[in-house]
Chains A and B, each alone.
Chain A
């Protein structure tokens, strides 16, 4: 195929679009390491004359950002593990056990996962106060375990529905009980899908905002997105500190993306082959 100058025009257009998409990340990074004086004099578009890390350090100390990271990590990690365990148990019963009424149970889970959190928020808020879990990480962990497990059950049931029966029958003949078959055979073989679910649940929970905003009101319990969202517009948040806060929100998210990217693509291709 003969390629004229047209192909360069197409590439240029796509590169310009890429630059637009990247621009907010770059400009935040540049200004997060700029001193307030320099920002005042040169504005947001100049490159910093020197690396100024005080803004990031001040913001970090002021909001105890380490604590927020820890809260996000504890909540997202617990939800990922618990929701995957529940998804596996459910999918075992639905996909392999083929219990009666499984279609209705799946529909129930799917509707539950699709419901807007607004339609659960006030009763959950009220109930959590009644049982003394309001403003605790545990309350958020419980709620998101249920929500994520609903999705995981749906996905994993479809995968386990295709599980080779012969393997399970062979295990049964060898005298393996049901739980043993699940733990020793089904889980190891479904590992790639399970890993993908773990990562999805972790990132989704990390990114959640609405329910954590309602449940985690004290500073000691807030997650990263909640803390950054609430602090926006505070009086002490000047231009450079705001960009420092934005950068601190961006960095973990991009780090997860880079760390998990390979597992995710591998998992997706494995899922596609199934």
Chain B
């Protein structure tokens, strides 16, 4: 049997070489660089854990992770909660009373922002929120500088990300709901359970696996977020919308502080790996 499986290694070889060159080696180089002071030219100077201790004292670093928490709320928690409700309403309320076509059309509309490159979504909103000629101020008769006011900028970016992200959970949850045995709902209905009770006690428990997947992927996406920040605010005004990915980008390419940027990126990578691991463990225990 072993002789039979041996020859298959050749099929893996091209990918392993590529993977080593493009992902494994660069990642290890990044970790190594995080222990050095380096401007990108010349020889990196070993400084041990210096970058990491500086990070712990750096207010921008802590702020950037706080903003990440806000983005997790906007990109994972709110879309998941809202998506559960919308998917359930579309599936067994609208679908049954107004036909599957109406439900499908609404679902497609909610999904539409998801097809955009996130940078393009940023261009769209940057234009709509422009303080002098933007459409949003005109509609509400306001003169707010949505992205330029430090008190408003993060909330604005969060709202945009809810708009961008909402369709994804709706589509995944509606697909998941097709798996749920209709007999469960029918039995509960005969017993006189209200729509809310059925939603809470049947729908939500039944599509738990999908909920896990959506929460995990959206949380990771929120931790990695870069495009909207680059296009909309460049982390500003001040540091009002600074996130780790943009912070590392700045350190790499504008401040020529490569060691420091590498340390930020390494911390971000570790957080993402830990979050993934935790989710998978919880999911395993559940099933």
Contacts and interface: CB of A to CB of B under 8 A. Distances in A.
B119 A228 contact: yes
Interface in A34-65: 39, 43-45
Given A18-B109, A89-B11, A123-B25, A45 B5 contact: no
A118 B260 CA distance: 12
A10 B226 contact: no
B128 A178 contact: no
B118 A228 contact: no
A45 B223 CA distance: 35
A254 interface: yes
Given A3-B97, A11-B94, A229-B227, A118 B244 contact: yes
B93 A44 contact: no
A14 B24 contact: no
A77 interface: no
A86 to B, nearest CB: 5
Contact of B123 (A115, A210, A232): A232
B98 to A, nearest CB: 6
Contacts of B230: 209, 213, 229
B120 A90 contact: no
A1 B226 CA distance: 49
A246 interface: yes
Interface residues of B, number: 84
B261 interface: yes
B272 interface: yes
B11 A90 contact: yes
Contacts of A114: 220, 272-273, 276
A118 B139 contact: no
Nearest to B24: A112
8 contacts: A21-B112, A43-B135, A89-B15, A96-B8, A122-B262, A147-B23, A208-B117, A214-B253
Interface string A239-274: 100110110011001101100000000001000100
Given A119-B27, A120-B23, A22 B5 contact: no
A146 interface: yes
Contact of B115 (A115, A257, A268): A257
Given A14-B106, A146-B18, A146-B19, A229 B123 contact: yes
B9 A243 contact: no
Of the four ranges (under 10, 10 to 19, 20 to 34, 35 or more), the interface on chain A belongs to 35 or more
Contact of B30 (A111, A112, A120, A245): A120
B238 interface: no
B120 A116 contact: no
A89 B227 contact: no
Given A3-B97, A123-B25, 15 more contacts: A45-B135, A45-B138, A89-B15, A97-B11, A98-B5, A114-B272, A117-B224, A119-B262, A122-B30, A123-B27, A127-B26, A225-B120, A229-B227, A254-B112, A268-B175
B156 to A, nearest CB: 14
Contacts of B252: 121-122, 125
B116 interface: yes
B110 A18 contact: yes
B123 A178 contact: no
B262 to A, nearest CB: 6
A153 interface: yes
Contacts of A80: none
Nearest to A122: B252
A150 interface: yes
A70 B202 CA distance: 49
